[in-house]
Amino acid sequence: MTQTAHGVEFSQQLSETPKSAEERAAVLANPGFGDYFTDHTAVVDYKVDADGNGGWQNARIEPYGPISLDPSAAVLHYGQEIFEGLKAYRHADGSVWTFRPEANAARLNKSARRLALPELPEEYFLGAIRELVQADKEWVPSGDGEALYLRPFMIATEAFLGVRAAREVSFRVIASPAGNYFGGELKPVSIWISREYARAGRGGTGAAKCGGNYAASLIAQQEAEANGCKQVLFLDHFNDDAVEELGGMNVFFVMKDGSLVTPALSGTILEGVTRMSVIQVAKDMGREVTERKITLDEWRDGVASGEITEVFACGTAAVITPIGVLKDATEFIGSEDAKAGDTTMAIRQQLLGIQTGTVEDTHGWLTRLV
């Protein structure tokens, strides 16, 4: 059976052993985050031919399962890998929509250029998401704050050990039903200041969404968790301890006058799709938003003086999460008893409302999948 989406044909080999309705219901009753996966995956192959011409081919939906790789596959040795994250939301009428997928497709290609991987035409990206969600539509949860998390990724699959860009690549999409990222009731989280480690460096891969950036952040994240914190804050130690981002989220500050400030994109900060959406939603509310350098000293002094009234983090997985305390072994900024701020919650509710269909989408951000 062949489906057509966005002008690209996807062949279908559906699973002969999909989860039963009972098994699926048990998962959806408590999905967690990234713990369970749907029955299928979308795949598109890339290969360079003898004449040096590369092309995407063999777009397909196939059963979810292990990937067969040669031990010398480039991704295993040189880390040629990128990924994205977005969600599919079930609306009240049963339809399923995703949020700003074109922005994710564009960022994937920005990451591909930085990692010397081939760019993927937008129609393949959008088609893969649509076909996968249509095949696994019963996996999209409908609970409050729940969604089907989509993970598109691209890996270098060519078998060789020479140091060069791979000539064989696989683009794939997998899906996982997801609940609240930090679990339970939305409460301000504690953040650990990383004094020793950096997330990215000038001229590096900080603006790309690649696995290496996250691998490098894990030791700092472990340090944060050992000190009772949910996330870690990375600073630019060579630029007055300028605030960069958390391990996987961008940061916003709400000022006393109601305006918002967020660190300017410097090449070491990932341009989050949620970040750009928060900026627009805040402007829609009549709030001024400034992208600029903001230092740890300004954070500390601003909280102490009342100039900074709220701080929150944002990203696809957690959407918007208020920050209560920022700390390290000697520093303690904020309050463990802090409540989620009014501005933080207003922006969160507006953004979630657009995503879930309870607030009008005036920007055309939603794409229907089912």
Structure tokens at 291: 């992208």
User: In the chain, what is the straight-line distance between the N-terminal and C-terminal CA atoms, in Å?
Assistant: 18
User: Two tokens at 112?
Assistant: 């591909």
Relative to beta strand 168-178, strand 147-156 is antiparallel
Check residue 337 and give its pLDDT.
Answer: 85
Q: In whole numbers, what is the pLDDT of the chain averaged over residues?
A: 95
In the predicted model, is pLDDT for residue 4 greater than 60? no
pLDDT category at 183 given cuts 50, 70, 90 is low
Residue 189 bridge partners (DSSP)? 323
The pLDDT tens digits of the residues spanning 231-248 come to 999 999 999 999 999 988
Residues 316 and 178: beta-carbon distance below 8 Å = no
| pLDDT surpassing 60 at residue 5 | no
Distance set, CA 180 to CA 147, 206, 230, 318, 324 (Å): 9, 26, 14, 7, 18
Q: What is the pTM of this model?
A: 0.95
pLDDT band at 336 (very low <50, low <70, confident <90, very high): confident
In eight-state DSSP terms, residue 159 is: B
- pLDDT tens figures, 251-293: 999 999 999 999 999 899 999 999 999 999 999 999 999 999 9
10 Å CB burial of residue 110 (0-12, 13-18, 19+) is middle
Average pLDDT rounded to a whole number, residues 207-224: 96
Q: What is the pLDDT of residues 32-54, one digit of tens each?
A: 999 999 999 999 999 999 899 99
Res. 358: pLDDT tops 60: yes
Q: Give the DSSP letter string of 43-103.
A: EEEEEE-TTS-EEEEEEEEEE--PPP--TTBHHHHH--EEE--EEEEE-TTS-EEEE-HHH
The letter for the amino acid at 280 is Q
Find the DSSP H helices in the chain: 21-29, 74-78, 101-114, 122-135, 211-226, 273-284, 296-305, 342-356
CA 140/CA 130 separation, integer angstroms: 13
Token code pair at residue 229: 């914190």
- CA of 77: how far to CAs of 74, 315, 349, in Å? 5, 29, 43
- The proportion of the chain whose per-residue pLDDT surpasses 90, expressed as a percent, equals 91
Tell me: pLDDT of 2 over 60. Answer: no
Pick the closest to residue 87 from 345, 315, 346, 359 (CA basis).
315
Do 11 and 59 form a contact (C-beta atoms < 8 A)?
yes
